[in-house]
Structure 1
Amino acid sequence: KGETFNHLPSVFVNLDVWQSYAFAAPGSDNGLESPVAMIALQGTDIDDEKIENSFDEIETFTKSEAVMGMPGYKEESGTIYMMLAFLFIISAVIIAVFFYVFILQKTQQFGVMKAIGASDSFIKRSIISQVFVLSLISIIAGIVLTYLTAFVFPAGMPFNLDFKMVILYAIVLLIVSVLGSVISARQVTKIDPLTAIGRVE
């Protein structure tokens, strides 16, 4: 309440330059010599309580706590994650519908397979394996094209694609595709072979 959040550029400078700008007004340094706003400590044996007790008016916090404490960061992150969630839902629906139509177009062939003795489990494995291979090739192609596109971007354009997140999302999309094929396979195996063979395409 009563606060605003803006996107501002960041400038990396040495301490002397920052102090000359931050405390340019007379008396803004409160009489302190070389004042600083924050000190970052790295290590495994840092005792934050001891540091707070040793100095007055000092607050210690972790890097994640500092980031989460920025006004608007948590809300903006929530918006981005909500967009990602909706993108996954939309992708799941599109993929499921695509493979459903793709599999239904082969109903006649599956009917012939059932008529000559192919079991429902064999047909299901066939459908799932085909969808798995198609999805895997498509996802790999998408990842490759994404990284190739990054090479076209100007050098000054900020672009950072975490490879771990790419692999995670690729696995999720692959699982969604396979689950969609399972639903379609169940529908195909329920069709009577005679009905499937006599179906007009």
Structure 2
Amino acid sequence: MFLAWKEIRYAKLRYGLIVGIMVLVAYVVFMLSGLANGLADGNRTAIDDWQASAIILSEDSNKIANASQLHKSDMDRVTAKEKAGVGIYSTAVEKKNGGEKTNVSIFGTVNDSFVVPKVIKGRLYKTNGEAIVSENLLSEGYKLNQSIKVNDLKLKIVGVTKETTYTLAPVIYLNPSIFKTLKYGSQPTESDPINLIATKGKTSISNQKDQSKLEKMTPETFIENIPGYTPEKLTLNTMIYFLFVVVAAIIGIFMYVITLQKTSIFGVMKAQGVSTGYLARSILAQTFLVGIIGVAVAIVLSVLTSLALPSAMPFAVHRSDWGVYSVILVLVAMIGGLFSMRTVTKVDPVTAIGGE
């Protein structure tokens, strides 16, 4: 480590360029990770907030909530410690006096069900003309006790919950009857339509021949089947994995070139009794230092960038993910340094110092 650090300090420009490349690649990794996590959280946060044990949809829905057509009476076929029927509707709201519309996800359920989040301002909804909204909707210019328009209906914001999203949109909770009107209009429909049943505790289902079959799944399975969730996450994560390969290749090429330039120096050191193992460990130590410095700088830059990003851009810092990626980046940098090991082991002291 001593020799590695001394050489880095002596050739600041040379190793500074390698560190700079490491910073740029690591910076892209952390930014892509933040965007991937931001998109994932934007799709799933509201469901995670429920802390449900299981989600139940109609079997023919292909695990997609909007395609699941259930009725409140289907809850009688489900046995669980707690259960809640939820209707889901994606639409847009606007202020009573007009203005730009804001996309929202509406959850229709009774106000005493376990899926309804705790109100941090105001109170729970009671009548059909009332609703509670997630705090992130307020950043769009809405406020407590304000009247809003959803389709052609007027609602009053009577409560605010903590910030949450579903399918990248702020969430509104309201009564099932007003949900029915919003989604199906005033046309006659079967009573109390819902899209899913969320449960807590051990859950069992009674499927009968004369009724539509119900399908139980974990919340994670339900989330993974949200349209766009898995493809978005897989695409961005694949880009991150390719960047790991890029790091190994770039660091390997740079260290190999530098090692070739130092062949004569290694020959002299071997002639003086310095072991090949010591020289090899020195090269690995250099790549380790390059990786550590590059990753540390990239993390600082990524955090500062996240503070400057607009609120409309989904970005989330997951420390555990960044910790794993930091370790991987340092490891692949060291793997890149291994490309130079053969050059070091093959150095002949006599040949390297110009002998015959």
Assess if the C-alpha contact under 8 Å between 2:259 and 2:340 holds in 1.
yes
Pick from 154, 173, 181: which aligns with 1:14? 173
Please name the residue that 1:157 is paired with.
313
Does 2:182 correspond to 1:39? Answer: no
Letter in structure 2 aligned against 1:165: D
Deviates more, 1:14-23 or 1:132-141: 14-23
Letter in structure 1 aligned against 2:172: V
Indicate the structure with greater helix content: 1
Does 2:345 correspond to 1:197? Answer: no
Does 2:341 correspond to 1:185? Answer: yes
> Residue 9 and residue 127 in structure 1: after superposition, are their counterparts in 2 closer, same or farther (change >3 A)?
closer
Query: What is the distance in 2 between the residues matched to 1:97 and 1:161?
Result: 31
Please name the residue that 2:298 is paired with.
142
Q: Cα RMSD (Å) of the superposition?
A: 2.6
Letter in structure 2 aligned against 1:24: G
> Residue 143 and residue 67 in structure 1: after superposition, are their counterparts in 2 closer, same or farther (change >3 A)?
same
Please name the residue that 1:3 is paired with.
none
* 1:25 CA drift (Å): 4.2
Count of residues in Structure 1 that have an aligned counterpart in Structure 2:
184
Please name the residue that 1:4 is paired with.
none
* 1:9 CA drift (Å): 5.2
Q: Calculate the TM-score normalised by the size of structure 1.
A: 0.78
Pick from 276, 281, 286: which aligns with 1:120? 276
Q: Calculate the TM-score normalised by the size of structure 2.
A: 0.46
Query: What is the distance in 1 between the residues matched to 2:217 and 2:294?
Result: 44
Please name the residue that 1:24 is paired with.
185
> Residue 195 and residue 39 in structure 1: after superposition, are their counterparts in 2 closer, same or farther (change >3 A)?
same
Assess if the C-alpha contact under 8 Å between 1:120 and 1:189 holds in 2.
yes
Letter in structure 2 aligned against 1:168: V
* 1:76 CA drift (Å): 4.3
Query: What is the distance in 2 between the residues matched to 1:101 and 1:25?
Result: 74
Letter in structure 2 aligned against 1:94: I
Pick from 203, 220, 229: which aligns with 1:64? 220
Per-residue displacement from partner, 1:54-91 (whole Å, max 9, x unpaired)?
A: 89543321112212334554444443333233222222
Unaligned runs of 5+ in 1: 1-7
Q: Tell me the SS of whatever aligns to 1:160.
A: coil
Query: What is the distance in 2 between the residues matched to 1:182 and 1:9?
Result: 44
Alignment of 1:86-125 (within 5 A): 86-125=242-281
Query: What is the distance in 2 between the residues matched to 1:72 and 1:148?
Result: 29
Per-residue displacement from partner, 1:131-151 (whole Å, max 9, x unpaired)?
A: 211211111111111111111
Query: What is the distance in 1 between the residues matched to 2:295 and 2:255?
Result: 15
Identity across the alignment (%): 34
- Runs (4 or more) in structure 1 with deviation over 6 Å come to none
Query: What is the distance in 2 between the residues matched to 1:72 and 1:157?
Result: 17
Assess if the C-alpha contact under 8 Å between 1:95 and 1:180 holds in 2.
yes
* 1:184 CA drift (Å): 0.5
Q: Tell me the SS of whatever aligns to 1:41.
A: strand
